[in-house]
Amino acid sequence: MPHPKIAIIGAGPAGLTLARLLQKSSIPSVIYEAEPSRLFRNQGGTLDLHPRVGQLALKEAGLLPQFQQHSRPEGEASKILKYDGKWGKKLLGVQEDEKKKGTYNLSFADGSIETGIDLLVGADGAWSKVRPLLTAEKPFYAGITAIELWANDVDKTNPWLGKYIGQGSLFMFDEGRAIMYQRQGSGAIRAYATVRQPENWAEECGIDWEAPDARDKLVKEYFDDCGEELKRVVLESKDLLIPRKCWMMSVGVSWKSRQGVTLLGDAAHLMTPFTGMGVNVAMADALDLARALIARKESVTAKLVSDVKNIAIAVEQYEKEMLVRAEENAKKTVHGLKGHFSATGKRSCSTSLTKAGSNALPNRVHRRVILRDYGKPIYKASSRAALLAALEGCIKGHESLRKAGFLYRDILINNLMMNKDEENPSWPSFLIDLDLRIKEARREASGARGKTGTRAFIAIGALLSE
Ligand SMILES: Cc1cc2nc3c(=O)[nH]c(=O)nc-3n(C[C@H](O)[C@H](O)[C@H](O)COP(=O)(O)OP(=O)(O)OC[C@H]3O[C@@H](n4cnc5c(N)ncnc54)[C@H](O)[C@@H]3O)c2cc1C
């Protein structure tokens, strides 16, 4: 029986990771990439691949040694993955096959077509051509325009600049503007001078971005009150200047699973880059979709149903988790976007952020409270033993509340929590949503506005040892 035809649109981090993971499990797929070759353009800059997300995907793809070799630790993911698909294949349109529903025909800009695709994966980024098959959601302007600036080979061409930025990053955050610099593996420096401005600002602000004085005008108009060194960095990053508008999609985009088609990465959930999660989430998507497809291929029941059905089950399972993860990260990114451009995250422009300046103000203290998500519902436990251990902890919590004179009445699976995160340890299991607990010895109604709680499961008898 022939293999199902899997087409991945886009050779970005998401598409490449998926293709590699499938390839490792002998599931063939073809990547169609609009650009003419792997070396066509600079493949992006320094990206922070998190150990439990982006790096985990690389590990499963058998590419961690290559990542470690190439990383500083930045991930020029598409270079590392080195996957050759069909280059110069810009997808123009997709039609569902009328005779064989659930399969798709693709038309490309070079006039070619591919027919009978059993699984079409849109990993084609922000302006995905596959997305409209699943949702009418489109990216919208996030209110920020970034002027990307490059200075190449700075240690040779501009040692002052090289030394000032060092080997890491430099940031300045302020109300409505920010400057971010990063050293690249190539020795170049890439910067973003970003401003909160309307969508047409880049065209209408009166700066000709191709003119030699574009940087001077940018600095004079928008960063003039910053420290001299910071301004000098912008002025001396002379090798390239590209205005980039930041786009995003609504938080919580979702769709009803559709046979034979799905989305990965930015195509599914475009976020602004202000928490540095985009590539990690994209690679986590690829990992989950690959795992779901591989699991179906290898499962006992898979043999009893058709490939089409197996793919549909895998896609539905993947999308369920992916959409939740996307929403969580999109929320964090919206928060990050506000933080980067607000005075509450403000740092002084006039002081170097990488070195203590000679005019640094004494007694300046900056305190932050960082809240992290903690735990997950126990039904997401990775094993039965972990589930039972967590349940036992929750029962103890229930008992201890009772000893304190409270009856906890909201025993729902979403309220019984566990935590196995070794990097973020505290209580291994715990109860949440205590607003419906009542004083056991109460004499009157609780005063709660809505009637809720899971009365049928209130274990008062057990708690009273009856
Ligand atoms: C300025 C900037 C800085 C960022 N910094 C970070 C960071 O520090 N950390 C981080 O985690 N994330 C960062 N991100 C986000 C990150 O780059 C993206 O989330 C990530 O690249 C998404 O990967 P992807 O594979 O889904 O899409 P993409 O990387 O966009 O890849 C999509 C691919 O599809 C191809 N394609 C598009 N349309 C078609 C078509 N019609 N036919 C065929 N091929 C097509 C494209 O050519 C491209 O190769 C940043 C983004 C920007 C814009």
Query: Tell me: the pLDDT tens digits for 317-353?
Result: 999 999 999 999 999 999 888 878 876 653 333 333 3
57 lines ligand 1 (CB under 6 A): no
Distance 44 CA to ligand 1 centre (A): 9
pLDDT for residue 153 is more than 80: yes
Mean pLDDT of the chain: 83
Which range (76-80, 176-180, 403-407) has the least confidence? 76-80
Protein residue whose Cα sits closest to atom 37 of ligand 1: 124
Distance 299 CA to ligand 1 centre (A): 33
Query: Tell me: the pLDDT tens digits for 187-233?
Result: 899 999 999 999 999 999 999 999 999 999 999 999 998 888 889 99
pLDDT for residue 397 is more than 80: yes
CA distances from 63 to 67, 286, 413 (A): 6, 14, 38
Distance 125 CA to ligand 1 centre (A): 5
Residues 71-94 have a mean pLDDT of 66
Question: Longest Cα pair distance anywhere in the chain, in angstroms?
Answer: 85
Residue of 8 and 347 predicted with greater confidence: 8
Q: Which of 47, 81, 270, 283 to mutate to test the pocket of ligand 1 (most atoms within 8 A of CB)?
A: 47
Residues 280-306 have a mean pLDDT of 87
pLDDT for residue 79 is more than 70: no
For the chain, report the end-to-end CA distance as a whole number of angstroms.
63
Distance 395 CA to ligand 1 centre (A): 46
Q: Which atom of ligand 1 is nearest to the CA of 11?
A: 49
34 lines ligand 1 (CB under 6 A): yes
pLDDT value for 350: 34
30 lines ligand 1 (CB under 6 A): no
Which range (15-29, 386-400, 413-427) has the least confidence? 413-427
Residue of 339 and 44 predicted with greater confidence: 339
Highest mean pLDDT among 235-249, 336-350, 399-413: 235-249
Rounded to 5 degrees, what are φ and ψ at 245?
Answer: -85, 145
Distance 384 CA to ligand 1 centre (A): 38
Query: Tell me: the pLDDT tens digits for 116-144?
Result: 999 999 999 999 999 999 999 999 999 99
Distance 162 CA to ligand 1 centre (A): 28
pLDDT for residue 364 is more than 90: no
Distance 127 CA to ligand 1 centre (A): 10
pLDDT value for 337: 86
327 lines ligand 1 (CB under 6 A): no
Residues 258-279 have a mean pLDDT of 93
282 lines ligand 1 (CB under 6 A): yes
Confidence of residue 269 (pLDDT cuts 50, 70, 90): very high
Distance 412 CA to ligand 1 centre (A): 39
pLDDT value for 54: 67
pLDDT for residue 39 is more than 80: no
Protein residue whose Cα sits closest to atom 35 of ligand 1: 10
Confidence of residue 272 (pLDDT cuts 50, 70, 90): very high
Confidence of residue 48 (pLDDT cuts 50, 70, 90): low
pTM equals: 0.71
Residues 376-380 have a mean pLDDT of 91
Q: Which atom of ligand 1 is nearest to the CA of 15?
A: 25
78 lines ligand 1 (CB under 6 A): no
Residue of 280 and 368 predicted with greater confidence: 280
Q: Which atom of ligand 1 is nearest to the CA of 268?
A: 26
Distance 28 CA to ligand 1 centre (A): 23
